[in-house]
Chains A and B, each alone.
Chain A
Amino acid sequence: MKKSILALASAFVFAFTANAQQVEFEEYDLSNGMHVILHQDTSAPVVVTSVMYHVGAKDEQPGRTGMAHFFEHLLFEGTKNIKKGEWFKLVSSNGGRNNANTTDDRTYYYEIFPSNKLELGLWMESERLLHPIIGQDGVDTQNEVVKEEKRLRVDNQPYSKFLEYVKENIFKKHPYKGTTIGKMEDLDAATLEEFLAFNKKYYVPNNATLVVAGDIDKAATKKMIEDYFGPIPKGEEIVRNFPKEDLITEAMNAKGYDANIQIPAIMAAYRTPSMKTRDSRVLDMISSYLSSGRSSVLYKKLVDEKKMALQAGAINASQEDYGTYILFGLPQGDTKLMDIIAEVDEEIVKMQNELISEKDFQKLQNQFENNFVNSNSSVEGIANSLARYNVLYGDTNLINSEIEIFRSITREEIKEVAKKYLNPNQRLLLEYLPKAK
């Protein structure tokens, strides 16, 4: 009896390894609550050390938009054992690369080193968590740097303000109503004390997931992790209690302006459920159906055949608590914005009343399989996905199993979800216009 079970188990293992897309990993908690995920890949002498903190722009206090991202900048300023200005130098002079990024939901820091520098990466990340040095001079410099980042990426770039207009209309209560980069006046108002409090509350091991991925020896790595992260004291439990949004039942209309554009754009934005839901994944498929590739519905109709739009598409901006589903178009020639919307609506209504064709459905399946293979093509990408699935979805193995959810979505569900969320009385119509002189 025992034997046959074993044989079955080994058959399973074989099946998994034969499937090249399977990402093997091991995960556990340290006693201070820090979650650890290890992924071994010996194909290149590279190691990624990364930490994802479950804190983002949505955790900011009112009137302090941009705080989470600003704080991310401050965590490069130095630690008790790494002098101010040394962080980047430590990384590059050891042949590594590093960066960080912040979203509304989480903040992610990472280093990529040649594999013999694993311990260095762990040391740096543990230093950052244990005792960063955050001072007024750092706040002052990074305040200017972050404002330059906003000017560079938002204020001086065409079509980059639309998300701000969409969010402030789609969300009335939930902190998703602000932008991640924040407002200039909020950035200026943030004080050192507030940053220190932010650090104390959110930058604790029980709010963090450490990923080590690459050419590693697992036993030695575990020991190093215990050495560097084990002694870091646990923080207080974080209670999250974000306000719930009321259903949108009446169409909203708004206008937004951008001094950097000549050609306007129209957007239809709908509030959708959390990215963790099955419906959100169905919406991902709907986006693909509408706008992925030259044979997709919106591209083919609006850009190619009717020549009404310069660009047309759908974005499912899915987030932890809610999503925002945005259909957009830039008019070609003299096309009116509302004419584009009428065409888009016609396609939505079709989806709501008829099943998409078997062939289009198979196309979607093929596209998602292709995306799945490509999503795990680099060790940096794998590390990020492991952390994201753990922190935001609460299920690390989604890195392997999320494709199963997509595979199980039916044509009927696509129809139902289109019916449930994509109705004119549930949306914002945003006219995105050149700023009048």
Chain B
Amino acid sequence: MKTKIASLIALFIATVTINAQIDRSKMPAPGPDPVVKLGKPIKFTLKNGLKVILVENHKLPRVSANLTIDNKPYLEGDIAGVSSMMGSLLGRGTTSISKDEFNEKIDFYGANVSFFSSGAFASSLTKYFPEILGLMADGMQNPVFSKEEFDKEVQVTKDGLKSNEKSVTAAARRVENVLTYGRNHPFGEFTSKESVEKITLQEVENNYNTYYKPNNAYLVIEGDINPKEAKALVKELFSGWQRGDIPEYTMPEANNPTATEINFVNMDNAVQSEIAIINNIDLTLGDKDYYAALLANNILGGGGTARLFMNLREDKGYTYGSYSSLRQNRYAGSFRATASVRNMVTDSSVVELQKEINKIRYKKVSAEELENSKEQYIGGFVMDVQKPRTVANFALNIERYNLPEDFYENYIKNIKAVTLDDVQNAAIKYFRGDKARIVITGKGIDVLTNLEKTDYAIKYFDKEGNPAVKPPMTLPIPEGMTAETVVNKYIEAIGGEEKVAAIKTTMIVSNATIQGTPLVMTTKSSVPNKSLQEISVMGNVMQKTVFNGETGYQSARGQKMDMPQAQIDEAKATLVPFSDMAYKKGTLDRIEPIEGVNYYVVKFNSTEVFYDMKTGLKAKEVKTVKTPDGKEVKVPTTFGDYKAVNDVLFPYSVGLKTGPMDLNFEVKEIKVNEGVTDADFE
């Protein structure tokens, strides 16, 4: 008996150890493919044209009804927003029930009923559904449009527009549509304060009487239903809905630009740029190359494994996410590649987005990418196909797009049939990197300087998509700020007035290389206003400039030359060792952002001095000098790597740019109040 138990234990342990030897280093193989069962909805059409789709599913005791009025889009023009206002005003009472009673009933049952310009929606627990669907049907067919509700809705719409007025994303989407489709296109027009003010109650009623009709409508009922009872209920509630004549409308064509251009929308409060590269396309669900286009888009920007995401987010960290999308549409489709990026990388992001769009056009994707992308679609299809909502959507699409009945049964087969050539052809056809609008909504002052360096022409637009001028590139100067306060802030930042005043002499030795040759620069200074600068190469003094406060000279390779009067005047005007003291007499010209940092710019004679607004430290001096042939040249000197000597900060890195020469001096030694005598300035 005992041995038996022991062997059983041994057997048990053996299985455990075998189990423990799963091979972690390899991805586990999948089990057999799950069987896909496509649900079959029940369809029928009422005499008034309303098409009804019923999907039975008893998993939960609830039912929903979804009405879609699938009219061709039309232009609302100077009363843009009228249809959406009409939709909002539905459900505010009917000829037989007041608004309050209506709302009370819906809330009492814990149900949802909502109306919109092109349909309605209702959902509730099974036990309350007949009554809830009745409320929806009544609200749609017998609405009362009252003056009071209308006036209120006008106010709410205007306040709603106002609450979004500074939203960068709202402005971006609006202008993108205006520019892509055109202002006189149903997809390009938008509701504005002006258009809302032009809408009248009569116009709302006209809109309802013209367009809210069963002719092109679909009603989908899904959930815990008995089909026979549901059919009877639908007939009872919707047979009386009257058909109408819906006016014909010819949609204008939406055009791509002849060459890719940047369309810039300035928003001063933006902390990110909204970038959207957009072009119009002609693509409808069921087109021959529909699946190839779908896969091409998926590989380019369809999600967290697509090229845009991997490049702009995972590799560069420019954005939280970059994606592309294909909007298939019977009337006007579009392709978009987008990213919301921090201001400083706006130009780089445009470059990367365009690079990826062009790459997928000119170079075939890899077989592995295509295979992975197909699996992604097929997996999604397998997982979703049995959900009642999917069954309903598939049935609705077959009706709306006139697709063959077996369209979705062939879905997996059609996805699998797409080839590498198909993907490239679709990319060339639908992703127009060469004829696209790059719509950027962001803070001009931060991003335009670099965008101007790209290859694209820039056009400017306001928040409503009207042509505009380039925004100003400087910030307003805060009240009370002057050259003097800026310099005081700087003195404070480097150590304070007292500490600075205690510095009587300085000696600074720094190194640089010029065309591979090491160079040593020694500068000495002493109050009041004496200075010396010496440049030597391998111990030989090449150049020396001395100023004793009154006069001075320059010597180069043994040739000595007295300082010309102009230079003396200039030297006299500055105050070494801290020339900034003199800049207090200059003027505060502007605030200029450079690479994300804002600088106070103080003008002093022919020099502009840049102080970092945040740290107070001096970053740059730019001197404008005249060349012998009369041209003006800017000579910048940059300061960085501040370190304290005798409690005062000195820049340990000084850059000098003259003509084609870039000199970067690294400070080796700074001596304060020692090593300098008056003899140095003789």
B-contacting residues of A (Cβ < 8 Å)? Answer: 20-21, 43-46, 80-81, 85, 88-97, 112-120, 122-123, 126-127, 140-145, 147-149, 151-153, 155-159, 215, 223, 226-228, 230-231, 259-263, 292-296, 300, 303-304, 307, 310, 330, 332-333, 359, 362-363, 366-371, 373-374, 376-377, 434-435
Which residue of the partner chain, among B60, B104, B315, B371, contacts A93 with CB atoms under 8 Å?
A: B371
Q: How far is the CA of A391 from the CA of B170 in the complex (A)?
A: 38
Q: B262-305: which residues lie under 8 A (CB-CB) from chain A?
A: 269-272, 303-305
Closest Cβ neighbor of A98 among chain B residues:
B304
Please name 6 further chain A to chain B contacts, defined as beta carbons within 8 Å, in addition to the given A45-B382, A435-B269, sorted by A numbering: A88-B304, A95-B378, A120-B28, A120-B30, A294-B103, A363-B110
B383-A112 in contact (CB<8A): yes
List, in ascending order, chain A residues with CB within 8 A of B33's CB.
114, 116
B175 within 8 A of partner (CB): no
Known contacts A93-B376, A95-B380, A85 near B28 by CB under 8 Å: no
The answer to whether A93 and B305 touch across the interface, beta carbons within 8 angstroms, is: yes
A147 to B19, CA, bound (A): 43
Question: A227–B16 Cα gap in the complex (Å)?
Answer: 9
**Contacting residues of chain B (109-164) with chain A, CB-CB under 8 angstroms:** 109-111, 124-125, 152, 155-156, 159-160, 162-164
Q: Do residues A362 and B108 form an inter-chain contact, with CB atoms below 8 A? A: yes
A114 contact from B34, B110, B317, B320, Cβ within 8 A: B34
Check if B27 sits within 8 Å of A123, measured CB to CB: yes
B110 touches which of A223, A261, A333, A368 (Cβ 8 Å) = A368
Q: Which residues of A contact B162 (CB under 8 A)?
A: 262-263
Could you say which residues of chain B place their CB within 8 Å of the CB of A362? 108
For B372, give the chain A residue with the smallest CB separation. Answer: A93
Whether A89 and B61, one on each chain, are in contact in the complex, defined by CB atoms closer than 8 angstroms, is no
Task: Give bound CA distance, A277 to B371, whole Å.
Answer: 51
In the complex, the chain B residue whose C-beta lies closest to that of A90 is: B27
Within 8 A of A (CB), among B18-34: 19-20, 22, 24-34
Which of B28, B159, B272, B304 meets A156, CB within 8 Å?
B272
Alpha-carbon gap, A191 to B615, bound state (A): 24
Chain B residues in 8 Å Cβ range of A307: 152, 155
Contact of B156 with A332 in the complex, beta carbons under 8 Å: yes
A182 to chain B, nearest CB (A): 14
A259 to B28, CA, bound (A): 51
Q: Are the C-beta atoms of B163 and A113 separated by less than 8 Å?
A: no
B110 touches A367 (CB 8 A): yes
B340 within 8 A of A: yes
User: Which residues on A sit within 8 Å (CB–CB) of B313?
Assistant: 145, 148
> A304 to chain B: which residues have CB within 8 Å?
152
Q: Which residue of A lies closest to B57 (CB)?
A: A43
The answer on a CB contact under 8 Å between A81 and B103 is no
Q: A89-B372, A156-B272, A373-B62 are in contact. Are A148 and B317 (CB under 8 A)?
A: yes
Q: Given A93-B375, A263-B163, A293-B103, does the pair A143, B317 have CB atoms closer than 8 Å?
A: yes
Contacts of A153 in B (CB 8 A): 320
Please measure, in the bound complex, the distance between the C-alpha atom of A151 and the C-alpha atom of B160, giving whole angstroms. Answer: 23
- In the assembled complex, B169 has its CB within 8 A of some CB on chain A: yes
Contacts of B386 in A (CB 8 A): 43-45
Q: Does B272 contact A151, Cβ atoms closer than 8 Å?
A: yes
Given known pairs A155-B271, A223-B19, A292-B107, the reply for A45 and B383 (CB within 8 Å) is yes
B155 pairs with A332, CB closer than 8 A: yes
Q: Are A46 and B110 closer than 8 Å at their CB atoms?
A: no
Q: Is the CB of B320 within 8 A of A371?
A: no
Our pick among B60, B108, B320, B380 for the contact of A97 (Cβ within 8 Å) is B380
> Can you name 28 A-B pairs with beta carbons within 8 Å?
A81-B26, A92-B304, A93-B375, A95-B382, A96-B379, A112-B383, A114-B383, A115-B31, A116-B31, A119-B30, A148-B318, A152-B340, A156-B168, A156-B169, A156-B271, A158-B167, A227-B20, A260-B166, A260-B168, A295-B100, A300-B100, A303-B156, A307-B152, A332-B159, A362-B108, A363-B110, A368-B110, A377-B60
The reply to whether A261 and B371 contact each other, CB–CB distance below 8 Å, is no
Kindly state the separation between the CA atoms of A127 and B24 in the bound complex, as whole angstroms. 8
Contacts A141-B314, A156-B169: A94 and B379 contacting too (C-beta < 8 A)? yes
The one of B28, B106, B387 in contact with A44, judged by C-beta atoms closer than 8 angstroms, is: B387
- In the complex, A371→B169 CA distance in Å? 32
Residue of B nearest to A332 (CB): B159
User: Chain B, interface size: which category?
Assistant: 35 or more
Check A370/B340 contact, CB under 8 A, given A116-B33, A142-B317: no
Q: Mark B364-376, 1 if CB is under 8 A from A, else 0.
A: 0000000111011
Which residues does chain B contribute within 8 Å of A85, judged by CB atoms?
Answer: 310, 314
Known: A231-B20, A332-B156. A92 touches B372 (CB 8 A): yes
Choose from B36, B62, B165, B167 the contact partner of A157 (Cβ within 8 Å). B167
CB distance from B417 to the nearest CB of A (A): 18
Are A373 and B320 in contact, with the CB atoms below 8 A? no
| Given A90-B27, A93-B371; A43-B271 close (CB under 8 Å) | no
A231 to B22, CA, bound (A): 11
Roughly how many angstroms separate A145 CA and B316 CA in the complex, as a whole number?
9
- Contact, CB under 8 Å: B28 / A373: no
A116 touches B30 (CB 8 A): yes
Measured between alpha carbons, how far is A45 from B386 in the docked complex, in Å? 8
User: A151 to B110, alpha carbons, bound, how many Å?
Assistant: 37
Residues from chain A with a CB closer than 8 A to the CB of B309 are: 88
Using A158-B164, A367-B107 as known contacts, say yes or no to A259 and B269 having CB atoms under 8 A apart.
yes
Find out whether the CB atom of B375 lies under 8 angstroms from the CB atom of A81.
no
How many angstroms from the CA of A44 to the CA of B390 in the assembled complex? 12
Residues of B contacting A144 with CB < 8 Å? 316-318
Q: Give Cα A44 to B59, complex, Å.
A: 11
A213 shortest CB reach to chain B, Å: 13
Q: Is B35 an interface residue (CB 8 A)?
A: yes
| Complex CA–CA separation, A217 to B216 (angstroms) | 46
Most buried by A among B20, B107, B380: B107
Q: How far apart are the CA atoms of A374 and B223 in the complex, in Å?
A: 12
Alpha-carbon distance between A435 and B271 when the two chains are bound, in angstroms: 14
Q: Which residues of A contact B316 (CB under 8 A)?
A: 141, 144
Contact A370 B317 (CB under 8 A): no
Q: Is the CB of B59 within 8 A of A45?
A: no
Contact A295 B104 (CB under 8 A): yes
Closest to B385 in A: A44
Given the interface contacts A143-B317, A307-B152, A333-B159, does A295 sit within 8 Å of B103 by beta carbon? yes
Q: Residues of A contacting B373 with CB < 8 Å?
A: 92-93
Q: Is the CB of B382 within 8 A of A92?
A: no
Q: How far apart are B64's CB and chain A's nearest CB, in angstroms?
A: 10
B110–A158 touching, CB < 8 Å: no
Task: Pick the residue among A20, A115, A227, A262 that contacts B58 (CB under 8 A).
Answer: A20
Q: How far is the CB of B462 from chain A (nearest CB, A)?
A: 16
Assess the A260–B30 pair: CB atoms within 8 A.
no
Set A113, A155, A261: member contacting B166, Cβ < 8 A: A261
Q: Which residues of B contact A295 (CB under 8 A)?
A: 100, 103-104, 106-108
Partner of A46, one of B22, B165, B383: B383
CA distance A81 to B111 in the complex (A): 49
Closest 5 interchain pairs by CB? A95-B379, A144-B317, A45-B34, A370-B110, A93-B372
Do A148 and B320 have beta carbons less than 8 Å apart? yes
Q: How far is the CB of A390 from chain B (nearest CB, A)?
A: 23
Once the chains are docked, how many angstroms separate the CA of A122 from the CA of B62? Answer: 33
Task: Indicate if the CB atoms of B303 and A92 lie closer than 8 Å.
Answer: yes
Contact B310 A227 (CB under 8 A): no
* Minimum distance in angstroms from A332 CB to a CB of chain B: 6
* In contact, A147 and B103 (Cβ under 8 angstroms): no
Contact of A118 with B31 in the complex, beta carbons under 8 Å: yes
User: Whole-angstrom distance between the alpha carbons of A309 and B432 in the complex?
Assistant: 46
- Nearest-neighbour CB distance to chain B for A386, whole angstroms, equals 17
A145 and B319 form a contact (CB under 8 A): yes
B320 and A366 form a contact (CB under 8 A): no
Most buried by A among B100, B110, B319, B377: B110
Q: How far is the CA of A157 from the CA of B272 in the complex (A)?
A: 10
What A residues does B62 contact at CB under 8 A?
370, 373-374, 377
The residue that A115 contacts in the complex, of B34, B103, B269, B317, with Cβ under 8 A, is B34
Interface string of B303-342 (1 = CB under 8 A from A): 1110001100111111110000000000000000000111
